Amino acid sequence: MPASNLLDREPEPGIVTTSAPVTQGSSAEIHADEQFCSKLEDRALLSGPNRRLRDLQLLYSVAKDFILGFRALHFVGPCITVFGSARFPEDHPYYKLARDMGAAIAKMGFTVLTGGGPGIMEAANRGAKDAGGRSVGCNIRLPFEQSHNPYLDRWVTMEHFFVRKTLLIKYSYGFIIMPGGFGTMDEMFEALTLIQTKKLKSFPIVIMGSDFWPEMRQFMEHMLKGATISAEDLNLIKWTDSVDEAVAHLQEKAVTQFGLRRYRVPKSSALLGEKALEGAH
């Protein structure tokens, strides 16, 4: 089709063109949506154009999230982040594996950082406390309440998922991926994409719980055969169910690669209301 015809088809500003009729929601539906948005600002932020003042308020909310996160996590020491499902109970083998991994991370001198919720997150934080280590959470506010787990030395609650995900990556020198759902997949592939595109250095990524992942590994091989990723991309991942192997990988790819000292923590300023985490010197 000639370019002029394409230009002719562009709508004038302010005119909505659609092949389907636009239906107006009932007053009850509109009110319910407004109530939901008031509880979860991400929905308002992602729902298309708002009034200019509202978008400015949402922008401030994003900045506030980042500032709160920076102030809470800047002084907790080098972290290893553990991702995984909130749905595994205390007696599940994956919970036990995450708890053992959390303890091992703490014994290495790292702070264990999670999303701060139940399940795998709780298990990793609990393992850190078992070993006398530092345990931190970056929680998310949801319309259905997700409270932080009881094994945290410090936590911060975010309004925005993408801010939370950025913070979980920002303060980490490695990532442990345990079995999980959509959120875990999102976090894992975000980290992989940032490393693949050189936005991040090649931080270690360890995926644990081998009986959960065979289809995912197969699909990654399928992507390699389809030339949508390269062999080097698959080399970013360490697959193991062994806590000792995971620790050795973190030691080589995080501690040695980045020259981490046991405690590498910026000094906090009491004048600015900053607080160091107990045990992080």
Residue ranges in the chain whose pLDDT is less than 70: 1-25, 28-40, 143-146, 258, 260-265, 279-281
- Predicted confidence at residue 203, as pLDDT, reads 87
- Predicted confidence at residue 261, as pLDDT, reads 58
pLDDT digits (tens, 9 = 90+) for 125-161: 999 999 999 999 999 987 665 678 999 999 999 999 9
Q: Quick check: 68 and 103 in contact, CB under 8 A?
A: no
Sequence-distant (6+) residues with CB within 8 A of 17 are 11
Helices 182-196 & 161-170 angle (0-180, nearest 10) = 50
- Predicted confidence at residue 41, as pLDDT, reads 75
- Predicted confidence at residue 7, as pLDDT, reads 44
Domains and CATH numbers, the chain: 66-261 (3.40.50.450)
- Predicted confidence at residue 200, as pLDDT, reads 87
